């Protein structure tokens, strides 16, 4: 055993709970007085409950919504790619700045899936992070390279979802 070091954790799969799991780790880290940065790559202007909570933890939690919304519904894919690149550069600077013990890159997998950021560029950045920093990446369809590079991979598997029964997204559960 080599003791402790910063970990790269990956939460992927088609089931609900990837961002929720990452937020649980954020609260755990903040409970130990650790600084957390959360960067959301896809979520746009919709009002999420986690944004309201983040304001209450401003001394330990830096929360950044960097996307324009759900890319598969895009009205301007070129603009989405430019915004994704800007968000990725911000994430790289956040990691290099080494001010946080935990950095969450929410929905980053989509940037690889949609070819917005080269997979190897992301892997190189994550593996070169400060040695004590933990990084969480979330999103469906994680690439083989991200899976291979991660220290921990959890796949959320949908077995049942209320949407299939006509139950819409609800405040406090989905957003």
Active site residues: 14, 16, 18-20, 28, 70, 72, 107
Q: Where are the alpha helices (DSSP H) in the chain?
A: 18-31, 49-56, 77-97, 109-113, 119-127, 144-149
Name all contacts of 44-47 with Cβ < 8 Å and 24+ positions apart: 44/68, 44/69, 44/70, 45/69, 46/175, 47/175
Residue 93, helix vs strand vs coil: helix
Torsion of CA 93, 96, 99, 101, to 10 degrees: 110
Taking the C-alpha atoms of residue 14 and residue 11, their distance in angstroms, rounded to an integer, is 10
> What are the two backbone dihedrals, phi and then psi, of residue 11, each rounded to the nearest 5 degrees?
-110, 115
Residue 10, phi then psi, degrees to nearest 5 = -125, 120
Q: Which of 82, 89, 48, 85 is nearest to 65 (CA)?
A: 48
């Amino acid at each position: 055993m080599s003791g402790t070091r910063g970990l790269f954790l990956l939460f992927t799969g088609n089931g609900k709970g990837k961002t929720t799991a990452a937020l649980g780790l954020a609260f755990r880290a903040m409970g130990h007085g650790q600084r957390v940065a959360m960067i959301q790559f896809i979520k746009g202007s919709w009002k999420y409950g986690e944004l309201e909570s983040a304001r209450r933890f401003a001394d330990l939690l830096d929360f950044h919504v960097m996307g324009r919304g759900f890319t598969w519904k895009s009205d301007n894919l070129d603009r989405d790619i430019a915004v994704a690149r800007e968000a990725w550069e911000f994430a790289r600077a956040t990691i290099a700045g080494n001010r946080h013990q935990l950095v969450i890159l929410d929905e980053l997998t989509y940037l690889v899936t949609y070819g917005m950021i080269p997979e190897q560029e992301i892997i190189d950045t994550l593996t070169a992070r400060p040695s004590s920093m933990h990084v969480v990446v979330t999103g469906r369809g994680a690439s083989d390279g991200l899976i291979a590079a991660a220290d921990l991979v959890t796949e959320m598997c949908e077995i049942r979802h209320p949407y299939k029964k006509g139950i819409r997204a609800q405040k406090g559960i989905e957003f």
